Amino acid sequence: MPSSYIPIFIFLAVAILFPIVLIVVAKLVRPSAPFLTKLEAYECGIKAASNSRGRYTVRFYIIAILFVIFDVETIFLFPWAVRYKQLGWFGVSEVGVFLVFLVIGYLWAYKKGALEWI
């Protein structure tokens, strides 16, 4: 039984060591000559006009959260797409109910003005 786990451990070791080895090799091979111009935020020669950590409106975060929520919800369609023949009409009705809730959520967000950029 333990011998069947050997390929998994080999894969795990390669998955852990591969990025570490690549980072170390890249650090050894790349040219490293830091100077003042290279350490600035932009190398174009133009000084930064202000701090890059500006404030964003709350609307930006609302749109971002809505995008993540609806994007994650659509991921739930993939298991249905894989098994739609086995689920039959029951699966079609379940996905229909799911999509109706999703559309209702979009309409609610649209009516609240959360999807407007300006």
Cβ atoms of 95 and 80 closer than 8 Å:
yes
**In which residue are the tokens 């975060």 written?**
61
Q: What is the pLDDT along the chain (118 residues), one digit of tens a residue?
A: 678 899 999 999 999 999 999 999 999 998 877 777 666 666 566 666 666 677 777 777 777 888 887 787 778 888 888 887 888 888 889 888 988 988 888 888 888 877 776 5
Q: For the chain, list the domains and their CATH numbers.
A: 2-112 (1.20.58.1610)
